[in-house]
Amino acid sequence: MRTSTVRRVCLSVMAAAALTSVAACGGSDSGGSDSGKSADRGTDKAGGVVKADPIAALRNVQKKTGGERSAKVEGTTQMGTMMSMKQTGVIDWSDGLTGSMEITYTGGSMADAVKQSGGDGTMQARYFKDGYVVNMGDGFAAQAGGKHWIGYRYADLAKMAGASGEAMKQQMQNTTPDQGVKSLLASGDVQKVGTEDVRGVQATHYSGTVDVASLTAKNSALDAGQLEQLKKQFSDAGITTEQVDIWVDANDLLVKKVERGQMKTGELNSTVYYSDYGTKASVEQPPAADTVDFAELLKQQQGAGGAAS
C-alpha cells in the first residue's frame, strides 16, 4: 500500500475525535459533590428569578438531556497543529451510540495529509455500538481494490492505543450529550455565568474547570496499570485541565458546549451545538464488498514494510 494510502488510513482514525467531541471527558453519573456549589441568587437579564444552586440546576439538565434519545449536532474541533475540523450529523444514544456525521478537515497536518493523497478533506462517518466506518472517497478506493469504506472496531483501536485507547473505547460506546453536564457536576467547580443568546435561543451559561486525567480515570473501568499508562499519555501530550462551558435552554436541554484546554502541540478547542432533540438517526452498514477492515490494512502495510526491508 502506498504511503498516501497509509496517511488516509491514519487520518480516518480521527473520525473518532469527531464523535467524542460531542461529549466532554467522562463525567460521573453520581451527580457530583455539593462542595462546588456557589451562591448565585438574584434575577436574570430578563428579570426572572434564577435558581440559587447551579449544582441543583445542572442535575435537572443532566436528567432532561440524558433522558432524550437523539439530537442533531454541529460543531468544530481543533487539536493543536495536528488538525482542525468541522462536523455535522445526527446521533442516537438510546441503545449504545449510533449515528452519522459529515466531517471536513479544515487545517493542520491532517488536512495536509488529505490534500497530499488527493482527497477533498470531507468524509462520511457512520457510528455503531461496536465500531464505526468511514468513506475515504474514490482516491482511496483506487488504491484499496475499489473499496471506499474503512471499518474500525473499538476493541481493535483500544489494543493499538493502550490505556488511552481503552478509555476512548469506553467513552465512544457511552457518549451522550449530557456528559459535559456530568463532567461539571463531578468536578466540584461550577458557576452560573448568566443568560445569553445561542442561535436565537435564550440559554443559561454554566462554566467550570475539569481535571482531565483524574476524571477520565475515575469514570473508566481501567486497571491500575492502565490508569498509570493513561496518566503518562496525558502528561506526554501536555493535557492537564479543560475549561468546560455549557448553555441550556428553558426546557433544561443542552444547546451548546465548549471545551478548551492546552496540548503540547497547541490549543485544544471544541464547540458543539445541539438541536432537534428526538430526530431519527438512520444509519446502515455499507456493503461488505465496499469495505476494508482497518486491522487488515495495518497487517498489509506491516507485511509490505517487512518485505521491503
CB proximity list for 175: less than 8 A, separation 6 or greater: 19, 20, 22, 23, 91, 93, 97
| Rounded Cα gap, residues 285 and 195, in angstroms | 42
Fold designation for 3-308? outer membrane lipoprotein receptor (LolB), chain A (2.50.20)
> 10 Å Cβ neighbour count for 217?
19
How confident is the model over 21-30, as pLDDT tens digits? 765 444 334 3
C-alpha cell at 302: 506491516
- Arithmetic mean of pLDDT over the chain: 75
C-alpha cell at 246: 455549557
Per-residue pLDDT band at 169 (split at 50, 70, 90): low
What is the structure's pLDDT at 194? 95
How confident is the model over 170-222, as pLDDT tens digits? 666 666 788 778 878 877 778 999 999 999 999 999 998 877 655 554 544 54
On the question of pLDDT at 241 being above 50, the answer is yes
Do the beta carbons of residue 93 and residue 69 sit within 8 Å?
A: yes
Q: Which of 25-39, 87-101, 174-188 has the lowest mean pLDDT?
A: 25-39
How confident is the model over 135-145, as pLDDT tens digits? 988 888 888 88
Instruction: Kindly report the pTM of this predicted structure.
Output: 0.78
| Measured CA distances, 159 to 79, 163, 218 (Å) | 23, 8, 20
Do the beta carbons of residue 113 and residue 97 sit within 8 Å?
A: no
Pairing state between β 149-153 and 291-293: parallel
On the question of pLDDT at 161 being above 90, the answer is no
Do the beta carbons of residue 171 and residue 165 sit within 8 Å?
A: no
**Angle, alpha carbons 136-142-147 (nearest 5°):** 55
DSSP string for 61-98: HHHHHHH--EEEEEEEEEETTTEEEEEEEEEE-SSS-E
pLDDT (average), residues 232-236: 54
On the question of pLDDT at 126 being above 50, the answer is yes
C-alpha cell at 208: 467550570
What is the structure's pLDDT at 48? 35
- What φ, ψ does residue 242 adopt, rounded to 5°? -130, 145
Per-residue pLDDT band at 278 (split at 50, 70, 90): very high
What is residue 31's three-state secondary structure? coil
- Percent of the chain's residues with pLDDT above 90: 31
